[in-house]
Amino acid sequence: MAWLPSVRRQWQSTVFVIVKQAANGFIQPLNVSSSLLDSTRIGTCSPSLIFHPCKSYNETGVGLQAFLNRRTLTTGSESRRAQGDQSNLSSQNATVGETKDGAESKSVKEDGEVKCLAGLGPTKPGEKARIVVLGTGWAGCRVMKSLDTKLYDVVCISPRNHMVFTPLLASTCVGTLEFRSVAEPVSRIQPALSRSPNSYFLLAQCLDIDTDNHEIYCETVGENGSKANHKWKFKVAYDKLIIASGAEALTFGIHGVKDHAIFLREVHHAQEIRQKLLTNLMLSDIPGITEEGKKRLLHCVVVGGGPTGVEFSGELSDFIKRDVHERYYHVKDYIHVTLIEANEILSSFDVGLRQYAIRHLTKSGVQLVRGVVKDVQSQKIILNDGTEVPYGLLVWSTGVGPSPFISSLKLPKSPGGRIGVDDWLRVPSAEDIYAIGDCSGFLESTNRTVLPALAQVGLTESDIHSFTTLT
């Protein structure tokens, strides 16, 4: 945003996006030419995400490095693997064969309308222990980057095959950055995983965890994490499980939010926002449209005054001043931004910073409204005092909470519904399970406060794991 000196950007012939330090070394500096920026700002080109294609189940090679750099895992899991090996092989004999080199061949069987994979069975005595990581967010990717595949096999399971640099998502919505600039494939974060024969990336979501048998049950997903047309169900045995599946945007049960609002947590969300914004700009210039219609189409409403909502509002106001006034002259006086927050914006920050943000947002033309959204309809939102706010673009950014998957797990919960962990991020009631990042929170017995859902916290938690022994 132009009004934040710490992140002020002067785009000239070349833009250097330095994110290496912030991402602790696994996102490299990117060069973006100004000519490309100009074209993406007004939507004349549509850069697509450049990710490594997801390989098939038999060919997947995007595992990440094993969990410890210094010490081996405790031997308790080896005795369990030895005991469970024979029973597992006999129960899966019809579906899992043995190749000449001893590796499991992943045959497929039909289970009604749903195809099931035999899955990855328990590791055998003498084999490397298997670490399963759920999620490709900040915490999960930082952990996987730290793992040593010379000691362990790693299986990463996530509905997303890349990590998103979330602080820059708002910039992609208005074309300041390309979408590919904020996404890093997991195979680049740890290239060794694409070469390790027994490490995998599986494009799927976890459905349940069997803590007694050390197994997780999964189902494949479609594009952008949606349900796949042809679902494959499978299970994966683990020696150590790291849950880093993140959190989900909070809607507080308000009617219509999921149907009409756009969130800003994934790259496809940013793509949808930009497409909606540009479409509304073009539709508003069509002859015959009413004044009220123009005002509604070009009214951008942001609900939530946290860091994401404030950053996006600032980026949007900059876009209006720099691009809309120049390229959409006929409608430049109609477009405006409203930020709705129930309390103070940036409430978790220092008072001085809040006042600074309010002053500069107001100066940029952003209208600040204090209120609580009661209902969301297709073309307007209704506040608790009955005020109706028409909109053409609605972005919802009211914080995050536990996902349905996390809520469904029969694991201890911390205040707020996250997975409860001890001082070492272990789940006390489940052997060999750890939880890090936004999906976890300290149990009340630890006398620790719940940490904010920030990338810095996720990176710190994952660093704790990288240099300690899992017990």
* CATH no. for 250-400: 3.50.50.60
The answer to whether residue 73 scores a pLDDT higher than 50 is: no
pLDDT > 80? residue 43: no
Query: What pLDDT does 450 receive?
Result: 60
Say what the pLDDT of residue 167 is: 92
Q: Please give the angle made by the CA atoms of 91, 93 and 97, to the nearest 5 degrees.
A: 145
Round to whole Å and give the CA distance between 140 and 158. Answer: 10
Task: Report CA Rg, the chain.
Answer: 24
With pLDDT > 70 as the criterion, what percentage of the chain qualifies?
Answer: 68
Residue ranges per domain, the chain?
76-247+402-466, 250-400
pLDDT tens by residue, 373-387: 999 999 999 999 999
Tracing tokens 């399963």 back to the chain, one arrives at 132
- Collapsed DSSP state (helix, strand, coil) of residue 64: coil
Cα–Cα distance, 272 to 19 (Å, whole number): 24
Burial of 101 (0-12, 13-18, 19+ CB in 10 A): exposed
Taking residues 29-38, report their average pLDDT. 32
What is the pTM for the complete model shown? 0.73
In this predicted structure, what is the pLDDT of residue 241? 98
d(CA 287, CA 388): 27
| CB-based contact 435:442 (threshold 8 Å) | no
Least confident range from 120-124, 417-421, 458-462: namely 458-462
Average pLDDT for residues 292-319, to the nearest whole number? Answer: 96
Residue 341 C-alpha from the chain's centroid: 23
Provide the pLDDT for residue 320: 94
The set of residues, in sequence order, having a beta carbon less than 8 Å from that of 50 and lying 6+ positions away, is 180
On the question of pLDDT at 50 being above 70, the answer is no
How confident is the model over 170-211, as pLDDT tens digits? 999 999 999 999 999 998 887 767 888 888 899 999 999 999
CB 97 within 8 A of CB 104: yes
Pairing relationship of beta strands 104-106 and 96-98 according to DSSP bridges: antiparallel
- Smallest CA-to-CA distance from 309 within 361, 272, 260 is with 361
- Residue for token pair 């694409």: 194
Q: What is the mean pLDDT of the chain?
A: 77
φ/ψ of residue 426, rounded to 5: -90, 150
pLDDT tens digits, 350-402: 999 999 999 999 999 999 999 999 999 999 999 999 999 999 999 999 999 99
Could you list the beta-strand ranges (E) of 388-449. 388-390, 393-396, 400-401, 419-421, 433-435, 440-442
64-68: average pLDDT: 30
Q: Which of 149, 241, 137 is nearest to 457 (CA)?
A: 137
pLDDT recorded at residue 44: 33
DSSP single-letter state for residue 371: -
Q: Tokens 């030895």 sit at which residue? A: 82
Classify residue 22 by its DSSP letter.
T
How much of the chain exceeds pLDDT 90, in percent? 59
- pLDDT of residue 101 exceeding 60, the answer is no
Evaluate if residue 70 carries a pLDDT over 60.
Answer: no
CA 24 to chain centre: 18
Q: Write down the pLDDT at residue 102.
A: 36
Decide if pLDDT at 3 tops 70: no
Domains 76-247+402-466 and 250-400 share a fold: yes
How far, CA to CA in Å, does 272 sit from each of 82, 253, 262, 318, 460? 50, 23, 8, 19, 32
Write down the pLDDT at residue 117: 54
For residues 34-57, give the mean pLDDT.
Answer: 33
Give tens-digit pLDDT for 214-237.
999 999 998 776 666 778 899 999
Phi-psi region of 30 (alpha: psi -120 to 50; beta: other; left: phi over 0): beta
Q: 68: number of CA atoms within 13 Å, CB side? A: 14
**pLDDT at residue 439 is higher than 80:** yes
CATH assignment of 76-247+402-466? 3.50.50.100
Coil, strand or helix at 455: helix
**Whole-number pLDDT of residue 460:** 54
Q: What is the pLDDT of residue 191?
A: 73
39 has pLDDT over 60: no
Q: Which of 97-101, 322-326, 451-455 has the lowest mean pLDDT?
A: 97-101
- Element containing residue 216 per DSSP (H, E): strand 215-220
Q: What's the pLDDT tens digit per position in 128-146?
A: 999 999 999 999 999 999 9
